[in-house]
Structure formats: C-alpha cells, structure tokens
Amino acid sequence: MSGGRRAWLVVNLAAWLVTAAWCEPSTYVVQMSREEMPASGTALEWFAATVQSAAAAEATEMSLEGGAERIIYTYESAFHGFAAKLSEDEALRLERRPGVVAVFPETVYQLHTTRSPGFLGLQSEAFVGFRSSAVASYDVIVGVLDTGIWPESASFSDAGMGPVPARWKGACETGRGFPAKSCNRKIIGARAFSRGYEAFTGGPDGGDLSPRDHDGHGTHTAATAAGSAVANASLQGYAVAAYKVCWPGGCFSSDILSAVDRAVADGVDVLSISLGGGVSAYYKDSLSVAAFGAMEKGVFVACSAGNSGPEPVTLANVSPWITTVGASTMDRDFPAAVVLGTRRKLAGASLYKGVRHLSPEKQYPLVYFGGNASSPDPASLCLEGTLDTKLAVGKIVLCDRGITPRVQKGQVVKQAAAPPGPSSLAADRRRVAFNILSGTSMSCPHVAGVAALLKASHPDWSPAAIKSALMTTAYVQDNTRRPLRDAAAGAAGRASTAYDHGAGHIDPARALDPGLVYDIGRQDYVNFLCSQKLTPLELRVFTRSSKESCRRALASPGDLNYPAISAVLPAHSPAAKLTLHRTVTNVGAAASTYRAVVSSFNGATVVVEPTTLRFTRKYQKLQYTVTFTRRARRSSPEFGALVWKDAAHSVRSPVVVTYLSPI
C-alpha cells in the first residue's frame, strides 16, 4: 500500500470518528418560551415537533425516531421545557429554532459528601415552646434532593404528627423494596428520577430504581433537615418529601431539574440540595435557572457550597437566589488515642462502640490497603467494597481521612452561613441506626431545617427574608467568645473572614426575631442580572419572556439588596468612590429606632447615610446608602461589618472591601 493511500485512510478514519462523535446521542435540557407555544395542541406535541424539526439530515437510527420517543422529561413548574436525547449537531441546530430559549448539555453533579440541635440552641426551653405553637399554626414541607430515603429509620416515625397537609399534591412512588407503607405522615412523599441516569448508562444496571436509599447520604440529610424527635440524635422537624436524583454514576442534571420542577408542583416550602456541579455563568447553570423558578413560587432553596477550597473561586451554587451553605465545626468530638509500637501516642477520634473488648495492653497489627500510585486509591479511603476482609481480620485498618477536607470555602461573600457540617450525627439505617458524616452536604440540611422553622413562624416571609434573618443574626465568635478560626490553617490558625465563614454561624433562636430583613423579589433579581450585562436571550433564560427589558438595571451588581455588602475599588485609582444602596424592612416592633455602627478600614473610608433609621409601623421599608472612598494604597481585601442596633436587636451585615488591580 502506498504512503498516499495510507495517509488517505488515516484522514478518512479520523473524519469518520469526528462525525460519529458529532452524531452520538447525549441528553440535553431544552428551555422553551411559554409565550411562543402554539394555541393548538399540547406542550408535549410542541416539544416533540421541535425535536423532530432539528433531526439530523443523515438518516441515523436516532434521527428516524419520533420526537416524542426521544423526550425523557417535560418540565412545567420551576422550568418550562424538556430533556431529550440529541446529537451535538441537533442540539446546535435546536438553539436556532423558534421558541427555544436555551439548550443545556447534561451535567453530572456530585454529592457534597446529634449534637447539632443543642449546639444551635434548638433544645432550649424557649425554642421548644415556640416550635410547639409553630407546628400547630403552619405545616411546613421540606423536600430533599439526594440519594433517596431509608423509611424504617426512627427519624421518620410519624408518632405525634398531624395529618398530611391538605395542600400537598405529591405522591409516594413504590418500587422494589419500597412499598406504599414506606410513606406515612412524616415521609409524605417519595419519588425517584432516573431517566437521565438511565440514558447515560444505557439502561438500568440491575440496581434499585425506587426511592429507597442504598447510599445513606440522602437518609442522613433528610433526617438532619426534618427528622422526628429521637433521644439525643435529632433536629426535630416537619414533613419530608424525598426526591431521589443520585445514583452510582452520579446525579444527572436532567433528573435534578425534573425533581425541582416536581417538588415545586407538589407543594414543598423548602428544598435541601446537597450537591453541585462546579461554577458556571448563571444562565448556563440549569440548577440555577430551576432554583430561580422555585424562588418565584416562594420556595426557599438551600444548596451546599461544596468541599473544594480553600483556594479562591472554589464555591459551588453561587446564585444569589440560592442560600449557599458552608461548613463549620461544633463543640463535640469523639476523642481516642492510638499507641504505636514505639510508644508514640497519636490523638484522634473513634466511633468504636466497644462490642469486642480490645485490650489497651496489647499491640494490634496495622494494615493499609492503599497503593503506591500517585492518584488516589479507593482502598486507601476504605470505601465500601475496596478492602480485603481476609487481610483485615484481627488488625487495625489504616484509612486516609477521605475526600472531604474539613475547610471553609474561600474568596466569595456569597456563602450565606456556616452551620455544623463535620461530624453531624443523623439517621443511616443501612448498617447502623445512626451515623456520622461530614462536609457541606451535612451543613445544607441544617439550614434547610432552620428555614422550615422560620417559615412555620413567618409563613408570609419570602425566601429572601428567611435568608436575611439567618445571615444578619449569625455570629462570628465561638463558644469561648474568640473569633471563629480558619480550619484550613490548623488549630492555631488565623481568625476566619467572610471569605471563609460567610455571614457566620447560624443562630436559629435569634433568626426568629431579626428586627430588620433585607427582602429581595423577582424583579430585584432581574435588575441584578441586567447589571451583569446579559444579552436579551441570556436574560430570557430567567424571565421566560421577550417583553422584559433592562430599563431598571442596577447601577452595579453590589446594589442588589443582599444582607452582605461587597465593595470593589480600583487599587491604583486615588479617591475612587463607590456608593451602594440598601433597603430594610421592619419586622419587629412598630415603633423602632436603629443606629448604624460600621467597621473602619485602612484602605477606605466608609460613610453610612442616614446613621439612624426610625420606623413607625411594622413592615415599613427605609433606605440607606454606604459610600466607600479609597484613601490609601492597598492590595489585599479588608473585612468588617455594618450593624444596625436597637435595644433588642443587632442586625449584622458582613462588609468586604476588595482592591482590584487592572488586568
């Protein structure tokens, strides 16, 4: 064969491989414009016709399928559109079709893998008294998107629970190992969403596609957010609806979107979502778009910040309409010590129950199953199914700490708060009644549970008002009255900042009566998005209308009425000035007077106007401005706070001043 002939074959093969990849079907989420839907026919018929119109020109097996057969989900509550199997070529052509707002490729999200009720003050006499009256006045429903639920856990007993709320429109889906009796007056709904997972894997792998939790993560988060009262182990909560979206291969965005859409239609008040898929622009993140739709329907959405960091820009779920939750430690540990053959003593922690007596006088051999490769070895983490039981018998198994570093998130004020995350005790009935898990996954349901308590007390509060109450009443000192520390720097590390702990450690009792709240509505968020210089089509992803304009765009993104204040000043521009605007709503006593106390900064002067706010009625709104003027050359960010005080309240907003050098 001649060299020219071989070269032609290689080029032809490469072209064939590129074409094959171009035509290979994948799952895409397609957002449609409700206002452009034809007057005749159903939404499904319109979606199917749209898919068929973009079918590949070449007669592939997939392109010959009808549009309806290729649709795996339709969405209509928090999001309007569908998920379908498309080739990359078809997806690109679909973006240009009339009525199509956006096309999102399938994204695989990952899980952000008790003493906490007492630590949060939820077992105090005053709080228990409040909760009893709140339960009677408003039935809150918490939806948990995770790996499912283990209904036999004591945390999901319905003893003492009232009837299922009449407004509930959900269902209890049955399946293998999950009969109808799995639901009760506590677990009022359970659903499984697996079509995206099945489309990616080619079909069921023999696993259980019911809502039953075989991982433990979902049961743990559900019990933390809204578990029933269990002696020494629970944060008492409300009705639970479990939405299983995570499977052995991950959590797929088409499944997550369907669960959010269904949860909003079912009637949940709070959503707890302990997973994430990295950072992307707001309009490119399907979860962000769905959460925006949930916010419009009055649903509070809490998402975990992720376990990356503490490097800059490591936060997940950054949209301001999502309450992003970091993790912090609490005042509990399980101390234990290991004595080596050299008599060296190493302090650590252990959950050993003492079922088998181990003599402190005897030395036991160590075994480590990790390999010598530079990449992480699952056996080194002692993950399920990775250990050789024959080699482990009678030995102490050495495990690396794992893939969830106990650190705070960094370089963004977006993190709303940092409730307990490491060593959270909650239900996990797969092998033991309760288990300890760590990470922001475990923090997220703490905030969701407290948000449910606030919703019970204040049913008319918006998601933003609840978030504001949580943030402005958070504290930044530990239980010894010292500043919170940065866990990434070790026990003797520096004091943490707003980049590490967000607004601080949540205080549920104070959040019930915050005094003032920073409320934000749908139009406020639209004005914020306009300040981000989105194109009309990008903005339409959220507004779902071509008629909305940016005439009321904020002067700067920092003008969003957020409970934290971030000022960005040019590092090399003398006397640079920035004025930010805020509006507070009085939710305390009708006649109230608040006075401002603001931190001083080395690189800028800060002036609050007015310095006194006088309210004459409840729910009255008053405005103020904060003006920053650069006065000294500085490169590193500075941190402080603005606090509005009256006789009974301290309404604290973290303040960050960043000095931005030109690129």
**Residue pLDDT, tens place only, 167-218:** 999 999 999 889 999 999 999 999 999 999 999 887 665 567 899 988 776 6
Instruction: Please tell me the total number of residues recorded for the chain in this structure.
Output: 663
pLDDT given for residue 12 in this prediction: 47
Read off φ and ψ for residue 284, nearest 5 degrees: -100, -5
Same domain (yes/no): 170, 306 = yes
Closest alpha carbon to 51 in 18, 105, 99: 99
Question: Do strands 434-437 and 424-427 pair parallel, antiparallel, or not at all (unpaired)?
Answer: antiparallel
628 by DSSP, 3-state: which? strand
Note every long-range contact of 391-396, with CB atoms under 8 Å and residues 24 or more positions apart, other chains counting.
Answer: 391/367, 392/367, 394/364, 394/365, 395/364, 395/365, 395/366, 395/367, 396/338, 396/364, 396/365, 396/366, 396/367
Q: Which of 258, 319, 441, 653 is catalytic?
A: 441
What is the domain extent for residue 324?
A: 110-329+411-511
How far apart CA 102 and CA 285 sit, in angstroms, is 11
pLDDT given for residue 385 in this prediction: 63
Number of domains in the chain: 4
How far apart CA 181 and CA 244 sit, in angstroms, is 18
Structural contact between residues 569 and 589, judged by C-beta atoms closer than 8 angstroms = no
Residue 460 burial (CB < 10 Å; 0-12/13-18/19+)? exposed
**Does the residue 6 lie in any domain?**
no
pLDDT given for residue 594 in this prediction: 99
Specify the amino acid at residue 187: I
Read off φ and ψ for residue 298, nearest 5 degrees: 85, 15
**Does the residue 604 lie in any domain?**
yes
List pLDDT tens digits, range 210-252.
999 887 766 755 665 554 443 333 334 588 999 999 888 788 9
Residue 187 burial (CB < 10 Å; 0-12/13-18/19+)? buried
CATH number at residue 158: 3.40.50.200
432 by DSSP, 3-state: which? coil
Same domain (yes/no): 314, 374 = no
| Cα-to-chain-centroid distance, residue 328 | 15
Q: Which of 112, 217, 446, 505 is catalytic?
A: 217
pLDDT given for residue 310 in this prediction: 45
How far apart CA 411 and CA 656 sit, in angstroms, is 10
Task: Mark whether 441 is an active-site residue.
Answer: yes
Tokens, residue 390: 């024959």
Which H helix or E strand runs over 615?
strand 612-615
Q: Which residues of 511-524 are buried (b: 16+ CB within 10 A; e: fewer)?
A: bbbbbbbbbbeeeb
pLDDT given for residue 378 in this prediction: 62
Read off φ and ψ for residue 13, nearest 5 degrees: -65, -40
User: Cβ contacts of residue 319 below 8 Å, gap of 6+?
Assistant: 282, 285, 288, 291, 292
Q: Give the chain's residues under pLDDT 50.
A: 5-22, 57-59, 63-64, 114-137, 227-236, 306-317, 326-334, 355, 374, 402-442, 491, 663
pLDDT given for residue 485 in this prediction: 64
Task: Mark whether 213 is an active-site residue.
Answer: no
Same domain (yes/no): 255, 393 = no
Same domain (yes/no): 50, 68 = yes
pLDDT given for residue 264 in this prediction: 97
**Does the residue 1 lie in any domain?**
no
Question: Do strands 187-192 and 323-325 pair parallel, antiparallel, or not at all (unpaired)?
Answer: unpaired
Q: Which of 89, 139, 146, 215 is catalytic?
A: 146
Strand partners, 145: 243, 273
Same domain (yes/no): 325, 365 = no
How far apart CA 88 and CA 104 sit, in angstroms, is 11
Same domain (yes/no): 419, 445 = yes
Cα–Cα distances in Å, from 188 out to 270, 388, 576?
14, 41, 56
Closest alpha carbon to 161 in 238, 267, 271, 269: 238
Name the H helices within 88-237: 88-94, 116-119, 125-137, 195-201, 217-226
Tokens, residue 543: 């507004």
* Single residue among 105, 135, 170 that ends a domain in this structure: 105
Sign of CA dihedral 386, 391, 394, 400: negative
Same domain (yes/no): 366, 217 = no
How far apart CA 274 and CA 110 sit, in angstroms, is 9
* Single residue among 90, 105, 120 that ends a domain in this structure: 105
Angle between helix 440-457 and 463-472 (nearest 10): 110
Cβ count within 10 A of residue 248: 11
Same domain (yes/no): 506, 583 = no
Structural contact between residues 324 and 285, judged by C-beta atoms closer than 8 angstroms = no
Specify the amino acid at residue 293: G
User: Cβ contacts of residue 559 below 8 Å, gap of 6+?
Assistant: 528, 531, 580, 581
**Does the residue 516 lie in any domain?**
no
pLDDT given for residue 207 in this prediction: 61
Closest alpha carbon to 117 in 405, 334, 416, 331: 331
Sign of CA dihedral 184, 186, 188, 192: negative
**Does the residue 315 lie in any domain?**
yes
Same domain (yes/no): 31, 126 = no
**Does the residue 228 lie in any domain?**
yes
Closest alpha carbon to 147 in 226, 216, 249, 225: 216
Cis geometry, peptide bond prior to residue 376 (ω within 30 degrees of 0)? no
Task: Mark whether 468 is an active-site residue.
Answer: no
Same domain (yes/no): 214, 299 = yes
Same domain (yes/no): 254, 343 = no
pLDDT given for residue 122 in this prediction: 42
**Does the residue 302 lie in any domain?**
yes
How far apart CA 286 and CA 280 sit, in angstroms, is 10
pLDDT given for residue 351 in this prediction: 52
**Does the residue 140 lie in any domain?**
yes
The pTM assigned to this predicted structure is 0.76
Task: Please list the helix, strand and coil fractions of the chain in percent, rounded to the nearest 5, in that order.
Answer: 25, 25, 45
Please write down the HEC assignment for all residues of 229-275.
CCCCCCCCCCEEEEEECEECCEEEHHHHHHHHHHHHHHCCCEEEECE
In Å, the largest CA–CA distance within the chain is 94
pLDDT given for residue 438 in this prediction: 38
User: Cβ contacts of residue 488 below 8 Å, gap of 6+?
Assistant: 309, 310, 405, 407, 408, 500
410 by DSSP, 3-state: which? coil
* Single residue among 495, 511, 527 that ends a domain in this structure: 511
Same domain (yes/no): 258, 224 = yes
